[in-house]
Amino acid sequence: MKKPNLCTNKIELELSDQGIKLIAGVDEVGRGALAGPVLAAAVILDLDNIPNGLNDSKKLSVKVRNQLASEIKDKALAFSIVGISALEIDQTDIHQASLKAMFKAIEGLKITPEYILVDGFSIPKLKIAQRAIIKGDSLSVSIAAASIVAKVARDEIMQGYDLTWPSYGFAKNVGYGTAKHLASLRKHGASSIHRKTFHGVLEDDLQELLPLEID
């Protein structure tokens, strides 16, 4: 017997009963990181062929998350991933960058969705009906699928950056402010992919902190 989905498809079923079949789940990852891009994914699942085990990407092991990302891409009717660089985040702000990434991810779908389910907050200027759902990646299989695809894609990007900037431990912290990452910032300063406007990366923050030993 197949394992049931860990988060519900209740919302999708309600929309389907209304005749709405092309539903895009949208989510972003990397909002709180100190380095690297913010990524958004939009996924239109085949409601008759939903991968089992979907859930908030943060609640899944790396192995399961990677397996599900591949399965989602294989089974989905369409998916799109868009990143906004650290430089652009600094030029605007993380909220605007996240909204832009989600908007562009929807635009990048090869199929135009009839309805959008988005994690957290509504996307301005979107001409498609949408519903913002708090903790949507735990409540909607479509949003969960988007969170998984986006998370795996961003982790791969940060692992690639680790080859260029090995001092910061990007392969493990994927740009988030772990103790070792902050210690590396104090010792080496910020790289070109660090978000210079973020607390902990700002020059004033680095100058105020005493140097730490790095393992």
Domain count, the chain: 2
> How do residues 104-158 score in pLDDT, each as one tens digit?
999 999 999 999 999 999 999 999 999 999 999 999 999 999 999 999 999 999 9
Q: Using an 8 Å Cβ cutoff, are 130 and 27 in contact?
A: no
Question: Is the pLDDT assigned to residue 207 strictly greater than 80?
Answer: no
48 belongs to a structural domain = yes
Q: Using an 8 Å Cβ cutoff, are 31 and 93 in contact?
A: no
Of all residues in the chain, what percent carry a pLDDT higher than 70? 91
| Token pair listed for 112 | 């135009």
Question: Is the pLDDT assigned to residue 62 strictly greater than 50?
Answer: yes
pTM above 0.95, yes or no: no
Q: For residue 5, what pLDDT is reported?
A: 52
> For 163-172, which contacts have Cβ atoms below 8 Å and span 24 or more sequence positions?
165/191, 165/193, 168/35, 170/35, 170/36
135 belongs to a structural domain = yes
Q: Residue 151's domain spans which residues?
A: 10-161
What is the distance between the alpha carbons of residues 174 and 198, in angstroms, rounded to a whole number? 16
> How do residues 70-92 score in pLDDT, each as one tens digit?
999 999 999 999 999 999 999 99
In the chain, % helix, strand, coil (3-state, to 5) comes to 45, 15, 40
* Mean of per-residue pLDDT scores for the chain: 92
Q: For residue 202, what pLDDT is reported?
A: 84
193 belongs to a structural domain = yes
Q: Are residues 171 and 106 in the same domain?
A: no
Q: For residue 208, what pLDDT is reported?
A: 56
Question: Is the pLDDT assigned to residue 6 strictly greater than 90?
Answer: no
CATH (domain of 79): 3.30.420.10
> How do residues 186-198 score in pLDDT, each as one tens digit?
999 999 999 999 9
Q: Are residues 91 and 188 in the same domain?
A: no
Q: For residue 211, what pLDDT is reported?
A: 43
175-180-184 Cα angle (round to 5): 80
5 belongs to a structural domain = no
3-state SS of 86-119 is HHHHHHCCHHHHHHHHHHHHHHCCCCCCCEEEEE
Paired with 31 in beta bridges are none
Q: For residue 99, what pLDDT is reported?
A: 97
Q: For residue 212, what pLDDT is reported?
A: 40
Question: Is the pLDDT assigned to residue 2 strictly greater than 60?
Answer: no
Residue tagged 């910032």 (tokens): 185
Helix (H), strand (E) at residue 72: helix 62-75
Q: Using an 8 Å Cβ cutoff, are 15 and 77 in contact?
A: no
Q: For residue 200, what pLDDT is reported?
A: 87
pLDDT range class, residue 8, cuts 50, 70, 90: confident
Q: For residue 7, what pLDDT is reported?
A: 84
Q: Using an 8 Å Cβ cutoff, are 110 and 64 in contact?
A: no
24 belongs to a structural domain = yes
53 belongs to a structural domain = yes
What is the distance between the alpha carbons of residues 163 and 144, in angstroms, rounded to a whole number? 29
Q: For residue 214, what pLDDT is reported?
A: 34
Among 145, 135, 169, which residue's Cα sits nearest to residue 36?
Answer: 169
What is the distance between the alpha carbons of residues 135 and 185, in angstroms, rounded to a whole number? 32
Q: Are residues 71 and 157 in the same domain?
A: yes
pLDDT range class, residue 1, cuts 50, 70, 90: very low
Q: Using an 8 Å Cβ cutoff, are 52 and 67 in contact?
A: no
Q: Are residues 81 and 47 in the same domain?
A: yes
Task: Please list, in sequence order, all residues whose beta carbon lies within 8 angstroms of the beta carbon of residue 180, skipping any fewer than 6 positions away.
Answer: 169, 173, 214, 215
